[in-house]
Structure 1
Amino acid sequence: MIVHDATHRKMAEGKQQQVLARERAAYIEVWQQNRLKDEFIAVLSHELKNPLNLIYMKADMLARLPQTHHIRSIQEIADAIQRSVNTQAQIIDDLLDFSRVNTGKLSLRFAPTDISAIIRSIAEAVQNDAKEADIDLRIDLPEVPVLIRGDAVRIEQIVWNLVSNALKFTPAGGQVTIHLAIEAGRARLEVSDTGAGITPEAIHSIFDMFKQAPTVANHSRKGGLGIGLSLVRQLAQLHGGTVEAFSEGLGRGSQFVVWLPADASSSQRQPGEQPADLSVFRGNRILLVEDAAESLAAMRDLFAIYEAEVTSATTASGALQAAKDKTFDLVVTDVTLPDFDGYWLAASLRALPEYSVVPIVAITGRPVAQEVQRARESGCDSCLAKPFSLESLADIVWSTKRDHEKGA
């Protein structure tokens, strides 16, 4: 009897070990598949951003050339190209962010954040698009800042995706309204439209990945992967908030409401500074580091419009040698280079006495939120996403110069 029981125990233990082994193997396989998927999406993001950056810069240059800057049709074409590029870049970033959220790799940087300022900035950015589509875009915001403790970059993504979605599905003559208020100790953001509306069947799955209600999607003037709203829900939840969708049916508009915990104890942020003057580039010696030949040429030609003296390099080691041979007023480097990355270059430059206060800006094809901390730790003053604009770069240069003057 004792022998019989011992045999049963051994058999049971053997089966349990087999089950555990299969579970471990399944877990390892899933983990490896997720890792490969993340790596694939990261590489895809970088490879897609490089040609987008080139297209954006060529369009920017076309609009700024003395021969064409006064021709209205050329300006409209350049604007349309740049808007399309930015839309595609946003889709790429959303896809990568969604992947990182699902695998728990998306980290947030929490700080007192004024949602009102973010909404105003986004409303200004899309106002021209709304006018061209004959859509009345309105904002209804409190006169005082509405503060939460959140990641400003991710809050901007939430607002941007909701507003873009509303504009996408609202026909000419319609209206989109952005309303913000503090209710019951929480920030309540509502983006409503008079557009295509959502069917009762689709309202429950509207935040699912790759989901677009077919009857609604047919009204869209622009395509999409159905990532934006799903990412909105994920980001809201990561902030301890929620998001809901409401609609009375097709043709009767829709409302998206995001609730986020308010941070009444946070101090108000200082108002933003005025946009920078592009004359900051005039006469400056600029070191451009980029391994994509066409992008490098486009960047060089763009700076040449403002009479900047440009030196280019395609590797980090080549750029470092150029910096040792000659002192530059600004360094702009791609993050991904064939020998060392742009962060190695930034750290190496900061080790040189003559580059202790020279503005260094990194350019990346990955979402900026993933790169900011490493960029700062390496010595970069800022990190910009591809495609980047001269205005954004000029803002950084002016801001860096003022900070150094104050610290002197």
Structure 2
Amino acid sequence: MRVEQIAWNLINNGIKFTPPGGSVTIGLAQDERMARLVVTDTGEGIEPDFLPRLFEMYSQGKTQDGPQKRMGLGIGLAVVNQLIQAHGGHVHVTSEGKGKGASFTVWLPLAAHVYGPASQDADEETGGQLEGIRILLVDDSPELLDAFGELLSMEGARVQTASSGELGLEALAEGIFDIVISDIGMPEMDGYAFIAAMRAVGHSMPAIALTGFGAKKDIDQAKSAGFAAHVGKPAPLDQMISIIQNILRGNEVMQAEASESRDPAKDGEPKP
């Protein structure tokens, strides 16, 4: 299922950015113990200075203009990268520049039976790093809910998603959770109003603010509102796992994560 998601995201990305009359081609091969997937398009291409940041979440907001273009090169490719890494593979992208198309190459380890028995260490591996942890993920972006929810689930978490603060409160009324992860910049009920309402009805589980607002005043406001941590977007999966684990162990993480948050003055206006 994850390999299908990797392939489809890359193919869909090629189709999205290739105009009528262009082409998207797919190649498959074997490199020793790795399977190689190549997706090449003749579309808009990628500027050289953007290539190193291509797999960052929300990177399209920093480099592309116009509502149409902001829909691409964001969460989808970031998820592709993290899924590939989770499977022990890697990805490389090349483009000669604007209007010259792009080529994505993915290497994934072949199944163990192709080249011999799995190692003993692999056999002894059990659940993921968040095995059994019940997480409520609240964000008004369906793309983030699907992508980040799947990544957390891959680590063994039991994830329920809500696309608004109001739906988040309904989920809390009906289920039991160990931790809540909430966006701040949501319409109607933002993250601060959501956590206030959550506390008002007696829910005391820790909450993480996941937001593009990373100035010190935003971090202080999140802490004052009752969030246990303030995490700036983009949030790498391994960073989020570490934060969740530390919070559930009772460790203080707000200041540690504050130092890693982005400065909007340097990066431009972030996505809420």
Query: TM-score, normalised on structure 2?
Result: 0.50
Query: TM-score, normalised on structure 1?
Result: 0.34
Structure whose CA Rg is larger: 1
Normalized per residue, the structure richer in helix is 1
